[in-house]
């Protein structure tokens, strides 16, 4: 049974349509028909909306203030009484879409663009246009580059030219053991691509990609398995971390330890 046929027989639909939000219910029902929902899905959607409207009334919240945040509050409330099904959130977001199309609630608010976002957008354009990367590959760089920018050059474009070798090495050293060996290699892969872009675009006068520890070097190298903890610590302590070369060696050793 399709949505249109079910709605013609549904007591719940007739009750909701005759209530204070009847116009909204009709718009929502039309959307369900358009989306081709079956009987069970249509019933579930109406049941969710019925519960939401009742909750709004009890909570003294206005329909005009409904947004994604309010929906999440309702779902948390509902979850205390019954299980949330996989399609419930989508059903309620469909209601938001109907409300926005009817100009009954404001459009979705866009978060402000941060300095990191502006830099990454330009980097993404470079990867797409100059390197031919697909969007799915580009987005993998986002977490690493966003954190790098936040920690190393929070000022965005204005700070890019100030990045130096010591900044890169310190960053790798600091985050070398944040995750698995694979995530560490992915981090350095993203950093090398980004630093190469900075030099290519003229944003930084230095070719800093070479100071990031080589992924190939980690793949083909390993620390001797017979070293004790004390011996490993002695090797680490031998790195002169007051110098850029020592900090780089320390970062490489940390990554090798993580790969063990």
Same domain, 125 and 252: yes
Enter the DSSP assignment of 80: T
Same domain for 36 and 64? yes
Residues 169, 51 share a domain: no
Q: Which long-range contacts (CB under 8 A, 24 or more apart) does 149-153 make?
A: 149/115, 149/116, 149/119, 149/120, 150/116
Read off φ and ψ for residue 52, nearest 5 degrees: -65, -45
Q: Token pair of 194, please? A: 């980004």
Strand partners, 2: 38
- Do both 150 and 203 map to the same domain? yes
The whole-number pLDDT of residue 200 equals: 93
Q: Are residues 230 and 127 in the same domain?
A: yes
150 and 211 fall within a common domain: yes
- 107 in any annotated domain: no
User: What is the per-residue pLDDT for 163?
Assistant: 93
Distance set, CA 212 to CA 48, 94, 117, 172, 203 (Å)? 52, 46, 23, 8, 18
Q: Is residue 183 part of a domain?
A: yes
Tell me, yes or no, whether 80 and 120 share the same domain: no
Please tell me which of 5-9, 12-16, 250-254 the model is most confident about, judged by mean pLDDT: 12-16
**Residue 215 confidence (pLDDT) above 60:** no
Q: Which residue range forms the structural domain that includes residue 152?
A: 115-259
Residue 108 lies in a domain: no
Report yes or no on 154 lying in a domain: yes
Taking only the tens place, the pLDDT of each residue in 42-96 is 889 999 999 999 999 999 999 999 999 999 999 999 999 888 888 899 999 999 9
Q: Do 191 and 141 have their domain in common?
A: yes
Give the separation between CA 152 and CA 162, rounded to whole angstroms: 9
Number of structural domains in the chain = 2
Q: Which of 101, 128, 163 is the last residue of a domain?
A: 101
State pLDDT tens for residues 124-183: 999 998 888 888 889 899 899 999 998 998 877 888 999 998 899 888 888 877 777 778
Answer yes or no: is pLDDT of 238 > 60: yes
Cα(49)–Cα(53) distance, integer angstroms: 6
DSSP state for residue 85 in the 8-state scheme? P
Say how far apart CA 178 and CA 61 lie, in whole Å. 43
Return all residues near 198 (Cβ < 8 A) that are at least 6 apart: 160, 163, 204, 208
Q: Are residues 250 and 150 in the same domain?
A: yes
Mark which of 101, 136, 169 sits at the end of a domain: 101
Q: Is residue 52 part of a domain?
A: yes
- 149 and 29 inside one domain: no
174-204, pLDDT tens digit by residue?
Answer: 887 777 777 888 888 999 999 999 999 999 9
Query: Are residues 7 and 33 in contact, defined by beta-carbon separation less than 8 angstroms?
Result: yes
**Residue 9 located in a structural domain:** yes
Domain boundary among 59, 75, 101: 101
Are 133 and 196 found together in one domain? yes
Residues 71 and 144 occupy one common structural domain: no
- Average pLDDT of the chain is 84
């Amino acid at each position: 049974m399709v949505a249109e046929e079910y709605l013609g027989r549904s007591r719940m639909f007739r009750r909701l349509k005759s209530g204070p939000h009847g116009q909204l219910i009709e718009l929502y029902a039309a959307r369900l028909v358009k989306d081709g929902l079956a009987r069970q899905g249509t019933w579930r959607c109406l049941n969710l909306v019925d519960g939401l409207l009742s909750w709004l009334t009890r909570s003294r919240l206005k329909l005009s203030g409904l947004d994604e945040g309010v929906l999440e509050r309702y779902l948390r409330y509902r979850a205390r009484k019954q299980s949330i099904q996989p399609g419930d959130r989508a059903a309620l977001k469909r209601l938001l879409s109907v409300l926005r199309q009817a100009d009954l609630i404001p459009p979705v608010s866009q978060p402000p663009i941060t300095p990191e976002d502006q830099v990454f957008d330009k980097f993404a354009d470079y990867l797409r246009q100059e390197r031919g990367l697909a969007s799915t590959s580009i987005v993998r760089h986002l977490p690493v580059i966003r954190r790098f920018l936040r920690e190393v050059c929070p000022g965005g474009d204005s700070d890019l030219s100030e990045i130096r070798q010591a900044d890169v090495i310190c960053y790798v050293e600091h985050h070398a053991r944040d995750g698995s060996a694979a995530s560490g290699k992915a981090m350095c892969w993203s950093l090398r691509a980004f630093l190469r872009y900075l030099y290519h675009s003229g944003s930084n006068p230095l070719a800093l990609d070479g100071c990031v520890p080589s992924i190939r070097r980690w793949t083909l190298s390993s620390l001797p398995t017979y070293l004790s903890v004390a011996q490993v610590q002695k090797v680490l302590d031998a790195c002169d971390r007051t110098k850029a070369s020592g900090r780089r060696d320390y970062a490489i050793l940390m990554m090798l330890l993580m790969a063990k």
